[in-house]
Chains A and B, each alone.
Chain A
């Protein structure tokens, strides 16, 4: 027998809670869906505040607003914007799955629901990106 590494036993508290909340080690598809919805939700909340911050620039006069509009046309910014649409699609469609499953509809097929939601999100995202960059 060899005594090896020391690890810290998790205690009930915020640190343990947050770590357990996002820990996907050896977890299943349901947990992936669960964490995906939380992460995209937090990102969308972050974007909301960013959006409000940008709108605030309207109060600073036409010059600052023109600068912002110029930034929006940058291809890199378009890429970030397309990610925003991806997060909205994932969060929205996974949210729909949760609403259905959470009220007892198609509970046994929750994995298939998630796979469908992610597939539809992916397809729509490709279409959106192609449209944003003027390919279609």
Chain B
């Protein structure tokens, strides 16, 4: 058969895909040998599996160009967006394909993202209107992180890579903390104080153990670990300021 995508040169790849459906006692791995173009992506190969080998394979994808963040999964143990991950970059194989970690698996490679979305809500995430950017305002001068944090596509890769999220289900997680820092930097008329109070908690920015895996995994360069450290710096600065004022009053 002709390769589904990429160049005309076809190559056979071996995928070892994690399978689990509700009712199964345990998940298991299924092996597939797929012929796709030499520059095909992991998503191309998985779609090939669905169309030619096993139509019951469940995966989630939409835009196919790293904008929607729906095709997050782990390939050979690392968090990736399947749509922009070339098979050639994953080694000779077999390529181990697993669902994201630190989330409940719903079916095969699909995980429940509600925890992530719920964790983002308290940050508020004000919308940035295009007209305000086009109005000639120098947004970046006022806030260097403005565009950077807008890049979050809510894919959940950072949460999957986080070792603290794996040990503590109550931890807010890197995506929520990055959103909180984004709101603090660019409140858009909102009040950032409740957001700072929200993250100033043992399950908030202080729970992070600085392994920086979230920033390594982020496909959009959001740098959630940097945002978490920035929140700590801001909270420390405020606390030191408060103590200084108290000291002055005492004198």
Contacts and interface: CB of A to CB of B under 8 A. Distances in A.
Interface string B7-21: 000000000101010
Contacts of B169: 12
Interface range, B side: 35 or more
A40 interface: no
A33 B229 contact: no
A16 B28 CA distance: 18
A28 B20 CA distance: 28
Given A4-B16, A17-B166, A34-B163, A104 B31 contact: no
A90 interface: no
The secondary-structure label for the interface of chain A is mixed
Of B30, B166, B234, most A-chain CB atoms within 10 Å:
B166
Interface of B: 16, 18, 20, 26-32, 53-54, 76-78, 101, 105, 163, 166-169, 209-213, 216, 225-226, 229-230, 232-234, 236
Interface of A: 1-10, 12, 16-18, 20-21, 23, 25-31, 33-34, 98, 101-105, 107-108, 110
Given A8-B26, A9-B27, A12-B169, A31 B211 contact: yes
A103 B28 contact: no
B203 to A, nearest CB: 15
A7 B229 contact: no
